[in-house]
Structure 1
Amino acid sequence: MSPVLLPTQLAAVLHGPRDLRVESRALFPPHHGECQVQLVATGLCGSDLHYFLAGRNGDFAIQAPLVLGHEAAGVITALGPGVAAQHANLKVGTRVAIEAGVMCRNCKHCSAGRYNLCKGLRFCSSAKTFPHLDGTLQEKMNHPAHLLHPLPENVSFEQAALAEPLSVLLHASRRAGVCPSPPSSSLLQKHPSSTSRPLLNGHTPAVTTSENLSTPKNILVYGVGAIGLLACTLARSLGVRRICAIDINQDRLDFAVREGFVDKDGAYCLTLPPRFNAHTSIKEEPSAALKRAKENSVAALEFLHESEGFDVVYECTGAESCIQMAVHSAATGGKIALVGMGSPNVHLPLATAALREVDLIGSFRYANTYPEALRLLGSNSAPDLEWDLGLKVSKLVTHRFELADTKSAFETLAKGRDENGRVVLKVIIGPPR
């Protein structure tokens, strides 16, 4: 009997630091409970960039060739066994956003609706687990049907790809009490097609309801890359009227102000001091760094005319100095959402946080956010609305590349500017135009 020849497809595969190759790979049919999806748009994330530049993201180093990418949307091209019977909303031709984390659906965290904390979770394009789970920088991929979310008609593939980073901010905002969690009834649906099916054993998760919400009168965002700008646009859509930001990049701040993400008088450019002694390469002493953070915070609050501080601070850089500043720039009784992933160990002014009852809130990826993220992206399509979240999200996409040019896309993202001097915010990889 002659062997069965599988079709092939192209994938952008990382073999080591800056060693990214577009290769031909076999395309297997979807397994039980999976769909095959043709990828139409993948956004490049900061974690993808870390892997590309260093072959690792923090403590997670690649141990085998890895396909990067996890912010993605596409079209279903095939259904695996059992999908048609269990997921009536998924058919060949359905446009979907891809939720990249594959949870165990059986542990206490999954049962409580916090599947982002699942110890068995495998995440597309992450080297945390081995064997690695390939990401979305390929022509087609097979993925569990319960993690595919149909798109509203007025949401584009590029917008749907950005539902992933928007979900990060939606989850952080729920944790900080800025917006409500989904009602427990929607999380406990038992229908197999429910995107919240990871909830098992009848456990009801703790949720933030509209009864214990209070729209912040002001927010501050550290870092106006794509994640920081999404924090701004989500806050604006939730009714926050005063939105400010701090960054070290004046061009990005100018973009944020020009496009309305940040108030016209709400952008503060932080002058970055030398972190290391030019001669000894010794890092600044913790006490000196903490003193500098407090001084910088006071100067920023004075410049922004917010002497009492901010109700909610989104820390989107992960930089130690910014986390330190965030404690001082939060209002008494305020909250800090720790969104950025960066410095693993940080010296903090804990006495200041404790005496002023400033809450430091950890936030890791997301859970049960995709339906709401897609609803937000599709709900503000009328041209007369004051704040069109979907339109603002689209403005974050500054550069587009084909899959064959993925390495050039990463190099452009790493530089922060293209050959014409334009600022690079969000890069999308897609099919030939």
Structure 2
Amino acid sequence: MERRTIEEPGIGELQIAVHTTGICGSDVSYYKKFANGDLCACMPLSLGHEASGTVVAIGPQVTGFSIGDRVALEVGIPCGQCGICRRGRYNLCKHMRFRSSAKSVPHFQGTLQERINHPAVWCHKLPDNISFDAAALLEPLSVAIHAVNRAKPAPGSTALVLGAGAVGLLTAAMARQSGCSTVTIADVDQGRVDFAIAKGFATHGYVVPRPLHTSSSSSSIYSGSSSGTSTPLDGVMTPASTLSFQSQLDYAKTLAADMLSLTRNSNALYVDDEEDGVDVTFECTGKEVCMHTSLYATRSGGKVIMVGMGTPIQTLPMSVAHLREIDILGIFRYANTYATGVRLLCARDRLAPGAGFVIPSLDEMVTHRFKGLENAQRAFELASRTVDDDGNLVLKVVIEA
């Protein structure tokens, strides 16, 4: 804990009393390793980039805001002048400063502070029906919106989401929002898959067996239409680290086939029984084996969207993508998404029952809340786990003022 002096907000800035900061996986990585992927912190770094708060001071030349306004913070600040910014893809700006990231030097400090000064143009006013917690989760929701925008699934498409963390859950929900007829979500944690189905984030769920072993084992299958009942599915599940590369690929093929069988064996309509695979796969883990599985699970002419950032260098069966003309698309953060996220959350209260898919409550994703910055260490330790000491699901941990 440090006490710092904050200046008055500068030209075009607001001073925000931070109310809620959600802990992201990248924050946990910095906390535990002082690095996130290839990005290594080279000086002290305040963490936190999923944030909401209240306007407490207004700088010169700021219009449209009042003291007391509730806002969500979009924490990436691009230059706004380069060609890529002018084309609207400001998330790719080489001069981007992103709070709680070591990508730029000096590092742009995160939101785990009592107050911060932030450009007004990147503060999004909130209607009364959006809570501070839900507003903080507009940040991972933006990642999901951006991923689906890149995928452009046609109405009635089928989708697979690998990884049922916060981003995976929200990506599944946005795939449903876009009109996908079936959305299967897969994870090694049964609690997260159960949550995804129970809350309507996905239509089908697959639990990858853990721990994996070399003898015959069973994996649990969950379908949104079967009220949580499970059916055993036998298969050889061996840790990828002990396998040859070909065996790793065979393992990925098995996983892909098992995941696809959920919808093929359900009441889902298949126009072409000869066509195996989903229209789009969202890979939200960053793990190499999951990228292998994504390629095998995607139909000819389909798309794989790389959402998760994990293993920086991977060996992939590229011939699968070549021979099946699978498009592999990367995403990096998001652009032009916050207004969409706010509208989606507002629409939850306006849609009549049975009017169509309604994005699940973001507030229900917050499983643990810690009060005050002095409890940040406890929050970070819990955020690195999937269950708490009482065996309850850990999904999204937030720190509140």
- Determine the C-alpha separation between the residues in 2 that align with 1:314 and 1:115: 22
How far did 1:235 drift? 2.1
Q: Does 1:76 align with 2:47?
A: no
CA distance in 1, matches of 2:240, 2:318: 22
Residues 1:25 and 2:4 are matched in the alignment: yes
Query: Can you list the C-alpha shifts for 1:81-122, whole angstroms capped at 9, x where unaligned?
Result: 221xxx3x2221111110010111111111111110000101
Q: Is 1:408 the counterpart of 2:378 in the alignment?
A: yes
Deviation at 1:240, TM superposition (A): 2.4
The runs of 5 or more residues in structure 2 that have no matched partner are 213-237, 266-274
Task: State how far apart, in whole Å, the 1-side matches of 2:17 and 2:320 are.
Answer: 51
Structure 2 distance, partners of 1:390, 1:176, is 18
Aligned partners of 1:411 and 1:383: how far apart in 2? 39
Q: What does residue range 72-151 of structure 1 map to in structure 2 within 5 Å?
A: 72-83=51-62, 87=63, 89-151=64-126
Q: Distance in 2 between matches of 1:235 and 1:417?
A: 27
Where do residues 3-402 of structure 1 align in structure 2 (5 Å cutoff)?
A: 22-83=1-62, 87=63, 89-178=64-153, 214-263=154-203, 266-271=204-209, 272=212, 273-277=238-242, 284-305=243-264, 308-382=276-350, 384-386=352-354, 389=358, 391-402=360-371
Contact 1:397-1:427 within 8 A present in 2 as well: yes
Give deviations 1:317-363, integer Å, cap 9, x for gaps: 11100011001111221111110001111111211112112111111
Contact 2:257 2:297 in 1 (8 A): yes
- Alpha-carbon deviation of 1:125? 0.2
Extract unaligned runs of 5+ from structure 1.
Answer: 1-21, 179-213, 278-283
Give the structure-1-normalised TM-score: 0.80
Give, as a single letter, the amino acid of the residue that structure 1 aligns with 2:208.
Answer: L
C-alpha distance in 2, partners of 1:359/1:337? Answer: 8
Counterpart CA distance in 2 for 1:256 and 1:391 is 10
Give, in whole Å, the separation in 1 of the partners of 2:313 and 2:114: 39
Q: Deviations over 1:131-185 (max 9, x none)?
A: 100011111100111111111232111111111111111111111113xxxxxxx
Shift of residue 383, structure 1, vs aligned partner: 7.0
Q: Is the 8 A contact 1:224 1:247 kept in 2?
A: yes
- Structure-2-length-normalised TM-score: 0.87
- CA distance in structure 2 between the aligned counterparts of 1:252 and 1:157, rounded to whole angstroms: 23
CA distance in 1, matches of 2:156, 2:141: 19
Kept after mapping to 2: 8 A contact 1:381/1:390: no
AA aligned opposite 1:225: G
The amino acid across from 2:188 in the alignment is I
Cα distance between partner residues in 2 of 1:414 and 1:299? 28
Deviation of 1:309 after TM superposition, in Å, equals: 1.3
Shift of 1:379: 1.3
- Structure 2 distance, partners of 1:368, 1:132, is 24
Checking the alignment, whether the CA contact within 8 Å between 1:216 and 1:311 is kept in structure 2 is no
The 8 Å contact of residues 233 and 392 in structure 1, kept in 2 or not, is answered as no
Once the two structures are TM-superposed, the CA of residue 303 in structure 1 deviates from its matched residue by 4.0
What letter corresponds to residue 246 of structure 2 in structure 1?
A: S
Letter in 2 for 1:286: F
- Superposed CA RMSD in Å reads 1.7
Per the TM alignment, residue 50 of structure 1 is displaced from its structure 2 partner at its CA by 0.5
- What's the offset of the Cα at 1:28? 1.6
The alignment partner of 2:105 has SS state of: coil
The Cα shift of 1:391 comes to 4.6
How many pairs does the alignment contain?
363
Aligned equivalents of 2:149 and 2:351: distance in 1? 28
CA drift of 1:389 comes to: 4.6
What residue identity is the alignment partner of 2:379? A
1-side partners of 2:8 and 2:337: how far apart? 29
Secondary structure in structure 2 of the residue aligned to 1:25: coil
Q: Deviations over 1:357-384 (max 9, x none)?
A: 2111111101111111111111111474
Q: CA 1:109–1:423 in structure 2 vs 1: closer, same or farther (change >3 Å)? A: same
Distance 1:170 1:295 in 2: 30
